[in-house]
Amino acid sequence: MIGYGFMGAAHSQGWRVAPRFFDLPADPTMAVVVGRNPDAVSAAARKWGWDEAATDWREVIARDDIDVVDIVTPGDTHAEIAIAALEAGKHVLCEKPLANSVAEAEAMTDAAARAAEKGVRSMVGFTYRRVPAATFARDLVAAGRLGEIRQVRAAYRQDWLMDAEAPLTWRMQKDRAGSGSLGDIGAHAIDLSEYITGLRLGSVSGILDTIVAERPLLAEGVGLSGTASSERGAVTVDDIALFAGRYGGSGTGYAPLGTFEATRFATGRKNALTVEVSGSLGAIAFNLERMNELEFYDAMLPATEQGFRTILVTEHDHPYLAPWWPPGHMLGYEHGFSHQVVDFVTAIADGSQPEPSFADGLHIQRVLDAVERSSQDGSAWTSTD
């Protein structure tokens, strides 16, 4: 695993726990975690259960005992690391968004296609697909329980940047992160809406805005939780993204509309990833802040019985649930990363393409780029092609 921050902890949890609950076709060994700071990465290795720590990812990728490379670094390093790993014959799991630009994502997807011809697999980490309630929502749509899809509403709302004096980090710098709320969390709303509906966005119209233009720099030599200095730096990414999108490929002659919001200034919303899909026969509503529940509306019931009902998604017949706890015992944020490991390792063992693929990640990158271009140009509609 290359990188050891917030996502490093989550991915480590997934690699460590998945083999202990699921019968995997191969047994992953947590061989080495890589980071630039030798003391910090060594501490991460001890804490999370990696056999060793290293500071040079190129040397690690060249090792014969490494079969899989898991990339959890900031977006500006994804392309270089992923392409090198694929060319070295390593299977690659890369955190979202796939890259910081369409050009980088295209290069990564091309490398993935070449590697796939040699049996080397790659996947992008849109982990919320693997929250059982979200997967079950997809299953209901695929089974036709909603009928014709007519409208989608998706949002990802957080409030962790509400304090205007919160320090400037890499997530607020375009050269490191690529974009702000749009790519960091909006990418999840886009992907999850497409995953649940089975449709893809073909055009978008949107606007981006930066609410706090400057923030204090971190004092030299301290981590993200350290004190801010008196110096300030420019925020070069968006704080809020609002856009509409037109889906294609419904097969019914109607291309549904979707509305999207991504913000890190939604006061009181901590991790509210929501997707609501309205169809001719029913509707579903998912909220990550209530991740063990799915709201379902069956329009085929008598009018006297209609209304959204809450399904507790904890039964062993629900997706991913059988190996875990007795029905009614809740899962948490970390379990999606275990499910990600299960799907990735299973696909590698089967010789199949894990999903979402780098090509799927490239599509999301094109949507993000189209939203940004629409905002810059004031365009009514911008194609995602």
Task: List the domains of the chain with CATH numbers.
Answer: 6-125 (3.40.50.720), 131-331 (3.30.360.10)
Q: State the maximum Cα–Cα separation within the chain, in Å, rounded to a whole number.
A: 66
Residue 271 has pLDDT above 90, yes or no: yes
User: Quick one: average pLDDT of 352-364?
Assistant: 98
**CB neighbour list of residue 65: distance below 8 Å, 6 or more residues apart:** 31
Distance CA 349, CA 291 (A): 30
Question: Residue 265: its pLDDT value, please?
Answer: 97
Question: Residue 228: its pLDDT value, please?
Answer: 63
Instruction: Please give the structure tokens belonging to residue 212.
Output: 């706090």
154 close to 245: Cβ distance less than 8 angstroms: no
User: Quick one: average pLDDT of 160-189?
Assistant: 94
pTM of the shown model: 0.94
Residue type, 25: P
Distance CA 43, CA 4 (A): 10
Look at residues 4, 104, 6, 93 and name the one whose alpha carbon lies nearest to residue 53. Answer: 4
* pLDDT tens profile 8-41: 999 999 999 999 999 999 999 999 999 999 999 9
**C-alpha of 339 from chain center:** 13
Distance CA 152, CA 327 (A): 30
Q: CB count, 10 Å around CB of 280? A: 12
Please, what is the end-to-end C-alpha distance for the chain in angstroms?
32
User: Quick one: average pLDDT of 374-381?
Assistant: 89
Distance CA 208, CA 265 (A): 13
Q: Which of 102-111, 170-179, 279-288 has the lowest mean pLDDT?
A: 170-179
Q: What percent of the chain has pLDDT over 90?
A: 93
Question: Residue 222: its pLDDT value, please?
Answer: 47
Mean pLDDT of the chain: 95
203 close to 260: Cβ distance less than 8 angstroms: no
7: left (phi over 0), alpha (psi -120 to 50) or beta: alpha
Residue 224 has pLDDT above 50, yes or no: no
Instruction: Please give the structure tokens belonging to residue 374.
Output: 């629409």
Question: Residue 227: its pLDDT value, please?
Answer: 60
Cα-based distances in Å from 331 to 76, 112, 310, 316, 339: 32, 33, 16, 12, 12
User: Quick one: average pLDDT of 307-336?
Assistant: 98
Residue 109 has pLDDT above 90, yes or no: yes
Instruction: Please give the structure tokens belonging to residue 135.
Output: 């997967």
Distance CA 170, CA 6 (A): 13
* pLDDT tens profile 225-255: 456 667 999 999 999 999 999 998 655 678 9
**Residue 379: pLDDT band with limits 50, 70, 90:** confident
Q: Determine the angle formed by the axes of helices 132-142 and 187-197, rounding to 10 degrees.
A: 40
Look at residues 273, 5, 330, 1 and name the one whose alpha carbon lies nearest to residue 126. Answer: 273
Backbone phi, psi, residue 206, to 5°: -155, 180
293: left (phi over 0), alpha (psi -120 to 50) or beta: beta
* pLDDT tens profile 176-206: 999 999 999 999 999 999 999 999 999 999 9
* pLDDT tens profile 119-148: 999 999 999 999 999 999 999 999 999 999
Question: Residue 251: its pLDDT value, please?
Answer: 59
**Which SS3 state, helix, strand or coil, does residue 286 take?**
strand
By the 10 Å C-beta count (0-12 exposed, 13-18 middle, 19+ buried), 326 is classed as exposed
Higher-confidence position of 30 and 224? 30
Look at residues 366, 354, 356 and name the one whose alpha carbon lies nearest to residue 106. Answer: 366
Q: CB count, 10 Å around CB of 179? A: 25
